[in-house]
Amino acid sequence: MMGGPKDALQQAYAGEAKAALRLKVYAEKAEEEGYPQIAKLFRVVAWSEEIHGARALRAMREIKTTEENLAESFQSEQGVAEVAYGRFIQEAEAEGNRAAVLHFSQSRDVEETHAKLYKEAMNHLLEERETAYHVCMVCGYIADGVMPESCPVCGAKKEKFKTYHDPVTGKESR
């Protein structure tokens, strides 16, 4: 058992990250059901949770140079795609849970795409190339540059893609 401040910070970071995502999904549901003020509340609390999580990361000294952060992100995505999702798929297949198999298979494929995007960014770090990113709202696949006619991971049509807009600048990625 680890214990100590480092372990506590890691747990706090994980908890805050999970809460932020959960609250963003709750906000979408509240919007769908016609509760814009409740959606706003969920989003602002999610933002606060993100601040807490970022503080924990900084306290653990997990934020490095951009080059190091890209390399770490690449390694993480590769590991998740190769190891974790492979195991998850096997477990879901053993239980006959087809929905979980589909989810894990598509998520693995998307994680592999994330790794490729990070690798490409590492190779072109000095170029500061600007590109548009288009995200499949069904499975999370990210298209770099041109929006595909359909998602190569889940088959969703072009209409299911959204172009990423930077939350800091409010601008569409280019």
Give the residue with greater pLDDT, 7 vs 128. Answer: 7
Q: How far apart, in whole angstroms, are the C-alpha atoms of residue 101 and residue 170?
A: 36
Q: What is the pLDDT of residue 132?
A: 87
- Is pLDDT at 117 greater than 80 in this prediction? yes
Q: How far apart, in whole angstroms, are the C-alpha atoms of residue 128 and residue 135?
A: 21
Q: What is the pLDDT of residue 113?
A: 93
- Is pLDDT at 128 greater than 80 in this prediction? no
Mean per-residue pLDDT, 87-106: 96
Q: How far apart, in whole angstroms, are the C-alpha atoms of residue 34 and residue 20?
A: 21
Element (H, E) at 162: strand 161-163
pLDDT tens-place string over residues 8-25: 999 999 999 999 999 999
Q: What is the pLDDT of residue 124?
A: 80
Q: What is the mean pLDDT of the chain?
A: 91
Q: Decide: residue 131, CB within 10 A, 0-12 exposed, 13-18 middle, 19+ buried.
A: middle
The DSSP code sequence of 133-150 is EEEETTT--EEESSPPSB
Mean per-residue pLDDT, 94-112: 96
Q: Which residue type occupies 97?
A: N
The structure's pTM equals 0.78
Helices (H), the chain: 4-32, 36-59, 66-79, 85-95, 98-123
Partnered with residue 134 across adjacent β-strands are 143, 163
- Is pLDDT at 150 greater than 60 in this prediction? yes
CA 174 remoteness from chain centre: 19
Note whether 173 and 163 are within 8 A (CB): yes
